[in-house]
């Protein structure tokens, strides 16, 4: 395997041409936060470490090099009175890596990161550098299979704050409110702890910057680092050694996380450090499917006798027009199951997939960067533009320069 860290589109183009001459496949890695082997190659691996930085800001559009981390982008945008419209729950990913797999946050009226993309600079298989607008709908959530992305232009919004209200709730109450809950606040998500009826609701409202009222630094440190990471990590380790303790410690979790309200810059509310490692599967489903999926998953966990210390996360997003987006053409809910990294995850996540399929059938689409077992034949009927995306990819990359085992499995 050859590894390179190109600095710009020209160096990427040279690497792609050299790989073509030597008959090697090429992939670019992001920050390595996908759970699938999406970036893996035994040919030429391009690292994003030097392909970073803001190239320009014009009005509400920012153009960044592909390897720029979302956190760095948010910081730079804030200096210019701008922000990303929505973000996921961490911001350590690279812009290109996050966009390539359809990374999303939550918000019934807001799309994932890919919906904010208005332009892509791509190095194609023949080594040409292209920025055609008509490639954007297909190649944005493109899994690196259409070309190497060297720069991304994103639509931003004026900087804003989020008023965060986090509360301990009963799962039954949330499921009863579910038909209207996603529309009650701009950005709604909740976490349900298996073995309990407890959930933590996070409801974030977009407010002007004048309303900033951040948590005192010591309190943010205690709650986000000590409780949500150090203590939670200890709980997971304990649960692995003594599984019988998982239900009582899960019950403690919502009490410890408790209720809090604060208002901070949007990117500081959306994203938090997540230091306890895990395996994850996440499915996009019609919103109406959420209560049945949680009820069935709960029953499955009981039946199989598993002890699961990680919560199940529920989020929403608005329909979009990116061909391979999990929200293409319909509003969605996302349901994500996690398992502590040191515990076996395969059976649990496979059973979770079975539950999702039993409830949502082929309306369920897996997150491209998270664990799933579907192949192209399973995925094709779930995406109205799947055949178009595959045909475009074949036309742009007839020799399969940008393929790897994962893209061969999921795109054919
Ligand atoms: C702790 C944690 C929290 C997460 N939170 C969320 C969340 O809130 N919401 C969500 O939707 N997902 C979430 N994810 C998943 C994560 O956002 C995605 O897997 C994302 O792709 C990771 O970005 P990355 O920069 O690490 O890319 P990588 O995982 O390194 O790569 C992802 C894909 O992009 C391709 N790629 C990267 N750069 C380029 C480029 N320049 N050109 C072409 N292809 C490229 C790679 O080849 C690969 O196929 C989370 C993951 C973790 C581990």
Average pLDDT over all residues of the chain: 97
Residue 301 confidence (pLDDT) above 90: yes
How many angstroms is it from 97 CA to the middle of ligand 1?
4
Q: Tokens representing 266?
A: 């949007």
At residue 227 the predicted structure's pLDDT band, cuts being 50, 70 and 90, is: confident
Is 203's pLDDT higher than 90? Answer: yes
What pLDDT, on the 0 to 100 scale, is given for residue 56? 98
- pLDDT at position 256 over 90: no
80 token code pair? 């210019």
Model confidence at 255: pLDDT above 90: no
93 within ligand 1 shell (Cβ under 6 A): yes
Could you give the CA distance from residue 165 to residue 143 in angstroms, rounded to a whole number?
A: 35
Which residues are 82's β-sheet partners? 158
Query: Taking Cα atoms as reference points, which of 62, 138, 97 lies closest to residue 384?
Result: 138
Closest CA to 222 of 230, 234, 212, 213: 230
Determine if ligand 1 sits within 6 Å of the CB of residue 6. no
Task: Provide DSSP, 343-396.
Answer: S--HHHHHHHHHHHHHHHGGG-EE-TTS-----HHHHGGG-TTHHHHHHHHHHH
Q: In what order do the strands lie in the sheet with 187-192?
A: 260-265, 161-170, 198-207, 187-192, 312-317, 332-340, 278-285, 365-366
Judged against a pLDDT cut of 80, whether residue 258 lies above it is answered with no
Q: Are 329 and 388 in contact (CB under 8 A)?
A: no
**Diameter of the chain by CA atoms?**
61
Residue 221 above 90 pLDDT?
A: no
Domains of the chain from N-terminus onward: 2-158+375-411 (3.30.465.10), 161-366 (3.40.462.10)
Assign 281 a pLDDT band (cuts: 50, 70, 90).
very high
pLDDT at residue 391 is higher than 80: yes
Cite the DSSP H helix spans in 222-366: 232-241, 246-257, 266-270, 290-304, 346-360
Q: What is the mean pLDDT of residues 72-92?
A: 97
pLDDT at 137 over 90: yes
Out of 64, 98, 153, mutate this one to test ligand 1's pocket (max ligand atoms within 8 Å of CB): namely 98
Tell me the pLDDT band of 2, cut-offs 50, 70 and 90.
Answer: very high
Q: Higher pLDDT residue, 223 or 389? A: 389
Query: Cα(300)–Cα(358) distance, rounded to whole angstroms?
Result: 12
pLDDT at 222: 85
* Cα–chain center distance at 192: 19
Q: Which long-range contacts (CB under 8 A, 24 or more apart) does 41-44 make?
A: 41/1, 41/404, 42/1, 43/1, 43/2, 43/19, 44/1, 44/2, 44/3, 44/4, 44/15, 44/18, 44/19
Residue range 60-74: average pLDDT?
Answer: 98
Residue 74: the pLDDT is 98
Q: What is the pTM of this model?
A: 0.97
What is the rounded distance in angstroms from the CA atom of residue 153 to the CA atom of residue 115? 11
Predicted pLDDT at 307: 97
CA of 100 to the centre of ligand 1 (A): 7
**Residue 227 phi, psi (nearest 5):** -80, -55
Pocket test of ligand 1: the residue of 19, 49, 101 to mutate, having most ligand atoms within 8 Å of its CB, is 101
Q: What is the mean pLDDT of residues 201-228?
A: 93
15, 39, 125: which to mutate for ligand 1, most atoms within 8 A of CB?
Answer: 39
Cβ of 100 below 6 Å from ligand 1: yes
């Amino acid at each position: 395997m050859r590894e390179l860290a190109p600095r710009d589109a020209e160096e990427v183009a040279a690497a792609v041409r050299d790989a073509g001459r030597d008959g090697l496949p090429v992939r670019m890695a992001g920050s390595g936060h996908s759970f699938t082997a999406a970036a893996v190659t035994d040919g030429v691996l391009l690292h994003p470490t030097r392909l970073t930085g803001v190239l320009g800001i014009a009005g509400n559009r920012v153009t960044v090099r592909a390897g720029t981390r979302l956190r760095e982008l948010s910081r730079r945008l804030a200096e210019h009175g701008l922000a990303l419209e929505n973000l996921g729950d961490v911001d350590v990913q690279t812009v290109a890596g996050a966009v390539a797999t359809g990374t999303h946050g939550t918000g019934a009226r807001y799309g994932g990161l890919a919906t904010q993309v208005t332009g892509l600079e791509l190095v194609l298989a023949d080594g040409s550098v292209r920025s055609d607008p008509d490639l954007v709908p297909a190649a944005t959530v493109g899994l690196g299979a259409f070309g190497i992305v060297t720069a991304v232009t994103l639509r931003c919004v004026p900087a804003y704050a989020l008023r965060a209200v986090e509360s301990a709730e009963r799962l039954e109450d949330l499921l009863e409110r579910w038909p209207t809950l996603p529309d009650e606040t701009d950005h709604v998500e909740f976490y349900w702890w298996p073995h309990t009826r407890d959930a933590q609701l996070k409801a974030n409202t977009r407010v002007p910057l004048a309303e900033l009222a951040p948590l005192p630094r010591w309190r943010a440190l205690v709650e986000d680092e000590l409780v949500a990471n150090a203590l939670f990590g200890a709980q997971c380790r304990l649960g692995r050694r003594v599984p019988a303790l998982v239900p009582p410690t899960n019950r403690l979790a919502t009490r410890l996380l408790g209720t809090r309200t604060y208002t901070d810059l949007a990117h500081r509310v959306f994203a938090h450090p997540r230091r306890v490692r895990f395996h994850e599967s996440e499915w996009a489903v019609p919103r109406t499917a959420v209560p049945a999926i949680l009820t069935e998953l709960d029953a499955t966990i009981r039946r199989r006798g598993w002890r699961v210390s990680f919560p199940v996360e529920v989020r929403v997003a608005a329909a979009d027009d990116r061909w391979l987006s999990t929200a293409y053409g319909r509003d969605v809910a996302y349901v994500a199951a996690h398992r502590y990294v040191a515990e076996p995850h395969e059976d649990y996540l496979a059973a979770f997939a079975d539950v999702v399929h039993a409830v949502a059938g082929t309306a369920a689409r897996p997150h491209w960067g998270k664990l799933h077992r579907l192949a192209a034949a399973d995925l094709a009927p779930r995406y109205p533009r799947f055949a178009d995306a595959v045909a475009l990819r074949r036309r742009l990359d007839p020799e399969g320069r940008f393929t790897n085992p994962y893209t061969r499995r999921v795109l054919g």
